[in-house]
Amino acid sequence: MAPFRDRAAAAATGAATSTTVSRLLLLLAVLSTCLMAAKVSPLIEKVEDHKEFKKLVRTRNNVLVVYSKSAAAAERSLKLLSDVAEAVKGQGTIAWVNCGDGESRKLCKKIKVDPHSKRNGVELLHYKDGAFHTEYNRPETHKSVVAFMRDPEGAPLWEENPEARDVAHIDSEKEFRKLLKKEERTILVMFYAPWCGVCKRMKPAFQQAATDLKGSYVLAGMNVHPAEFDGIKQEFNVKGYPTFCYFDKGKFLFNFENYGATAQDFVEWMKNPQAPQPKALEAPWAEQDSAVFHLTDDSFDSFVTEHPSVLAMFYAPWCGHCKKMKPDYEEAAELLNTDDNSPGVLAAVDVTTHKNLGEKYQITGFPTLKYFENAEEKYTLPHLRTKDKIIEWLHNPQAPPPPEQSWEEQQSSVNHLGVEDFKEFLKKKKHALVMFYAPWCPHCKNAVPYFTAAAEHFKEERKIAYAAVDCTRGQNNELCKVEGVEGYPTISYYNYGKFTEKYSGERGGDGFIEYMEGLRGRGHDKIGKRGEEL
């Protein structure tokens, strides 16, 4: 009987040990969860059911949600985001959903989120104005996440580009002063703004030069657009972007002013830096030897009274279109002045100096050409731009053709958007192709009929849209800068308001239609479903 009792006692002891181990493991798991919870900022909101989730995204307009397969998987992200939550307090909200826990598991299933499919068991999704906005796919660093939360639709930070690893990225005035004080090598600093088109165009050459010059010289970049850097902008005369400043032993010497520079141009200049050559100032047009009669607020009325036929150009000295037209206008004036049977004379008015005339004749754009007959304003002539056209028209003055109807005024299925409705409209469309254009752009004009035809083709499709933005109207210019428009037309594809790619297909024929029909075959129908479930 003894052996039997020994075996029974051993079994009982083993069972007791197993129970104790299980309890210890459970206790350790609870303690681990409590310890992790202690590291999580109270500013991170824990969401556990669908009702809480809907309330959160409905009442907050800038929310980043951490979905995790378990509490342990979320530990690293929550530690980082605790600091982020503190930095963006009042500007954005960080929330956490543990998809491996009770009711939260049902929530994740309902909104079709599965962090188990992610390599680290965590997925970060952003919600804006009550709807899904985008998946966070930028580096999980404090600086990157804070920048994203402060401007969820802004461009990624320059330092997030791996090709810019050798650029010294400066984040604060303190860092800037420290660099100037301690760095013994010469420094070229690019002061820039994230939205600046010229900056974007020059960054690849600048960062390649930084790599080529690594160890010998310092090429640095600093976003000085925020108001906190107004002092630096004033100190170094930063009046536009980009501004390049060259420093030696902490002292500013001069600017680099080649805005079409290649990487090699930067490299050669850094090895032999030279101050920019002073530009010869061009005398104002009115002070040049000119065949055009330059009129003032005081002389205008008497001049048009003395001359029965006057064509007057109202201009601004800085206006590019005026400068382009000036040679033709001068040549036409010379020919008219030497013609014994001249049909009229040409005059010009600098409206930035003679503002009363600008107000009197309601000049709102440059150049504006007006024809005066016997001292009376008769026609405004937007179609006269060349020497031959000007002379031909003066020999036979006729009313100008009626203004061409703008694209926006034409009846079509294209949605014309502006800064006030751009985001709201696009976030409701699964597939949207947007043409950013300028009314004067010939390539835009050529593409308009085909783009309009494509919009008509899909007009019954509620989730498909063809839209257009006139970048020259009102505040649309800033919108176009934010959307990366550097030339016209720029055509971009958006999925539920999220920029996905630039259109690079045919701008004629059925190119716009075929592109949209091809989206389904490329898997784009899967994008944005989270937004539909909210």
Instruction: Report whether 67 contacts 113 (CB < 8 A).
Output: yes
Identify the three-state secondary structure at position 157: coil
Active site residue 34: no
Beta strand 368-373 pairing with 309-315:
antiparallel
Cα–Cα nearest to 286, from 342, 351, 344, 336: 351
Cα–Cα nearest to 357, from 340, 370, 338: 370
Q: Which of 99, 245, 322, 480 is catalytic?
A: 322
Cα–Cα nearest to 337, from 289, 287, 381: 289
Q: Which of 108, 199, 444, 471 is catalytic?
A: 199
CA dist., res. 363 & res. 351, Å (int):
8
| Per-residue tokens: 32 | 């681990």
Q: What is the 3-state secondary structure (H, E, C) of 62-123?
A: EEEEEEECCHHHHHHHHHHHHHHHHHCCCCCEEEEEECCCHHHHHHHHHCCCCHHHCCCCEE
Please count the residues of the chain.
534
Is residue 495 packed enough to be buried (19+ CB in 10 Å), middle (13-18) or exposed (0-12)?
buried
CA dist., res. 435 & res. 461, Å (int):
19
Q: What is the 3-state secondary structure (H, E, C) of 197-216?
A: HHHHHHHHHHHHHHHHCCCC
Active site residue 196: yes
Active site residue 99: no
Identify the three-state secondary structure at position 446: helix
Long-range pairs of 386-393 with CB within 8 A, sequence gap ≥ 24: 386/328, 387/328, 387/329, 387/331, 387/332, 387/335, 390/311, 390/328, 390/329, 390/332, 390/346, 391/332, 391/335, 391/336, 391/343
Active site residue 108: no
510: how many CB neighbours lie within 10 A of its CB?
13
* Angle at alpha carbon of residue 142, lines to 130 and 57, rounded to 5°: 10
Beta strand 44-46 pairing with 93-98:
parallel
Beta strand 464-470 pairing with 415-417:
parallel
Longest dimension (CA), the chain: 143
Active site residues: 196, 199, 319, 322
